[in-house]
Amino acid sequence: MPAPRVTVLMPVYNGAEYLEEAVESILRQTYSNFDFLIIDDASGDGTAGLLKKIAAGEKRTRIITNPVRKQLAAALNQGIESAGGKYIAMMNCDDISLPGRIERQVEFLKTHPDIDVCGTWYERFNGIKERVDLETEHEKIKTLLFRTCPVCHPSVMFRKEALERSGLRYCEEFNFAEDFEFWTRLVEKCHFANVPEVLLRYRIHANQTVVRYEQNHMAKVDAIRERQLRRLVSNPTDEQMLLHLELCRGGFRRQGENYFEDIRNWLELLRNSNKQKGIYPQDEFSQMLKDWEKQLAYSFYFVRKKYSPAVLLDFLRNKNKPWDKIRPIYLIKFAVKCLIAWTPFAGKRQLSERNKRRDKNAIND
């Protein structure tokens, strides 16, 4: 019997809650020449029973059960070694693949022989509904990996031959962010793309790994960003590293009138460093920095706790203003907030608030 063209790989650990829905979304694909490899990583809930029932009714399903938990990165590597398909499609045990996903990705890889790793756009759901459109071209994906993860892991399909040729696998030291870390190395040896269609529904829920282990996840992500920065900037100072990581996270330690000038100077340093080292395509890297500055400017000026005329003046001096993404009504509101903070009324209001706090403290005493 010929080997299946596609192996769908799905690790699972205590994933019984949404498992049947995820499995059904694969078994109902319009493309049928696949086998479904599920790695049960020593689950302790009802996962094993559900998988036994699923395997009994579906010949394309193959179950590997680990007696001791290996964790996600090791389970993914185990699945890659066991996969027999020409292509390997990733899947999460709590997500939903749309019916035409595998067929569309197989067709994409057949018609794009230069692409080795193919993701898709996706939709977040469960209490929210948000479509996520990702960059589609290799150069832009590679550039964004400098600071973020522009590839949705459970939407990915690999050429197995490309993985073997690269000699790379998931790093077990980066569990909780193993996909982001893997992409930063694999992109140097393989070509990436994202199909510009929503082919996966990505479930948001309280038991997700990134939610349950948020601190571990962010620590690993920061470690990846730090490593990426050190490739580009030789011996960054502690202050530079702190600034870079907080900008990647989208937060700000301070909101003084000169702070955004520091941000602009840092982005310019990154642009010049890449121009010298050529790690990323220069045009794409410069555009990424420009877009990033606009995103940061929006957060810095429009999503803040305190406004003042100085903030307005600093905004007007900003050469790369994010006006193209902001409706005029919000610009007007921003200007009014800054000016109101300067009025006698604002001063009286602040004094009144201080008096209220003083009276409250007196009562508590």
- What the block records as the tokens of 88 is 């390997």
Separation of alpha carbons 158 and 119, rounded Å: 9
Residues 151 and 297 in one domain: no
Does residue 238 have a pLDDT over 90? yes
Q: What is the pLDDT of residue 361?
A: 44
Q: What is the pLDDT of residue 362?
A: 37
Residues 195 and 68 in one domain: yes
Does residue 95 have a pLDDT over 90? yes
Does residue 79 have a pLDDT over 80? yes
Does residue 23 have a pLDDT over 80? yes
Q: What domain range includes position 306?
A: 233-340
Residues 28 and 126 in one domain: yes
Contact yes or no for 145/187 (Cβ under 8 A): yes
With a pLDDT cut of 70, the percent of the chain lying above it is: 90
Does residue 257 have a pLDDT over 90? no
Q: Is residue 172 part of a domain?
A: yes
Does residue 295 have a pLDDT over 50? yes
Q: What is the pLDDT of residue 128?
A: 85
Does residue 301 have a pLDDT over 60? yes
Other CB atoms within 10 A of residue 83 CB: 23
Q: What is the pLDDT of residue 85?
A: 97
Q: Is residue 346 part of a domain?
A: no
Beta-carbon contacts of residue 292 (< 8 Å; ≥ 6 apart): 147, 247, 267
Residues 96 and 167 in one domain: yes
- What the block records as the tokens of 265 is 């100077």
Region 298-303: mean pLDDT is: 82
Q: What is the pLDDT of residue 5?
A: 96
Q: Is residue 363 part of a domain?
A: no
Does residue 364 have a pLDDT over 50? no
Which tens digit of pLDDT belongs to each residue from 333-363?
Answer: 889 989 987 655 444 444 455 444 444 443 3
Q: Is residue 217 part of a domain?
A: no
Residues 199 and 288 in one domain: no
Virtual torsion, Cα 64, 102, 105, 145, nearest 10 deg: -50
Q: What is the pLDDT of residue 254?
A: 65
- What the block records as the tokens of 283 is 């045009």
334-349 burial, b at 16+ Cβ within 10 Å, e below that, comes to beebbeebeeeeeeee
50-67 burial, b at 16+ Cβ within 10 Å, e below that, comes to bbeebeeeeeebbeeebe
Residues 265 and 166 in one domain: no
DSSP 330-357: HHHHHHHHHHHTTSHHHHHHHHHHHHHH
Separation of alpha carbons 216 and 209, rounded Å: 10
Residues 27 and 107 in one domain: yes
Please report which confidence band the pLDDT of residue 325 belongs to, taking 50, 70 and 90 as the band edges. low
Say which amino acid occupies 353: E
Mean pLDDT is lowest, of 109-113, 212-216, 291-295, 313-317, for 313-317
Residues 191 and 99 in one domain: yes
Does residue 283 have a pLDDT over 90? yes
Residues 47 and 162 in one domain: yes
Region 160-187: mean pLDDT is: 97
Mean pLDDT is lowest, of 95-99, 197-201, 235-239, 259-263, for 259-263
Which tens digit of pLDDT belongs to each residue from 141-166?
Answer: 999 999 999 999 999 999 999 999 99
Share the mean pLDDT of the chain.
90
Could you say which of 180, 212, 244 is where a domain stops? Answer: 212
Separation of alpha carbons 73 and 88, rounded Å: 15
Region 273-297: mean pLDDT is: 94
Could you say which of 212, 242, 269 is where a domain stops? Answer: 212
Residues 171 and 241 in one domain: no
Q: Does the global pTM surpass 0.85?
A: yes
Does residue 307 have a pLDDT over 90? no
Q: Is residue 13 part of a domain?
A: yes
Residues 144 and 102 in one domain: yes
Q: Is residue 364 part of a domain?
A: no
Q: Is residue 224 part of a domain?
A: no
CATH of the domain at 99: 3.90.550.10
Q: Is residue 223 part of a domain?
A: no
Residues 66 and 155 in one domain: yes
Region 54-79: mean pLDDT is: 96
Number of domains the chain contains = 2
Could you say which of 212, 241, 260 is where a domain stops? Answer: 212
Q: What is the pLDDT of residue 207?
A: 85
